[in-house]
Amino acid sequence: MSATLQVRRLGRVPYEAAWRRMQAFTAARTGTTDDELWLLEHPPVYTLGLAGREAHVRDAGGIPVVRTDRGGQVTYHGPGQVVAYLLLDLARLGLGVRGLVRCLEEAVMEALALWDIRGARREGAPGVYVDGRKIASLGLRVRRGRSYHGLALNVAMDLAPFRRIDPCGHPGLEVTQVADLGGPADPDRVAAVLADVLARRLGLEPVPAAPRLEIPA
């Protein structure tokens, strides 16, 4: 591996602040800008993708709802969930959107396997599932061959807010998490493993970077 992946561990960041920073980063980057991976958590929030239907948020219960520019329907973010945002130059990596989706799914499944959790993909429904229950959601945006947004992996969180929505637009879809399946309950530990697997599958060298939301100069 020669090219680098700048890995930023950002802690807990409000959803809209991270989203707007991703947009700005992507708009400002050039052909020589390093790819970045942002690892973080969000305070409780529901997000609706470009095609998201508000009807799938059945009862927000006071949790904010943000309509965003990623693909997909509705999901929930909250403390105890590892969010991995991938700011990648797909053309430079030789990846299309489908290839990136497959790479992310396989990376999550590889990480889960380290804790003897068997993940699977589902045709036509991006993400990773364990025994039919969703454990990781994907939502991406690609602009001029460069990606942002990414994936969310449930680790050790309050899953109750998922019951107020139709996760990913599928009524009755159950969700699960790493800690309930015998894996670690520490999101930082899971994030570290996931970062290493993602970097390797992308053919990039992971490099720890300052915990700031950077915009290329």
Q: Which residues are annotated as a binding site for substrate?
A: 70-77, 137-139, 150-152
User: Residue 34: CA atoms inside 13 Å, Cβ hemisphere, count?
Assistant: 18
Positions at the binding site: 70-77, 137-139, 150-152
CA distance 88 to 5: 9
Euclidean distance between CA atoms 95 and 101, whole angstroms: 10
Q: What is the distance between the alpha carbons of residues 126 and 103, in angstroms, rounded to a whole number?
A: 11
Could you give the residue numbers annotated as active site? 168
Across the chain, the runs of DSSP E, i.e. the strands, are 4-12, 35-41, 45-48, 65-67, 74-77, 81-89, 120-122, 125-130, 133-143, 146-154, 205-208
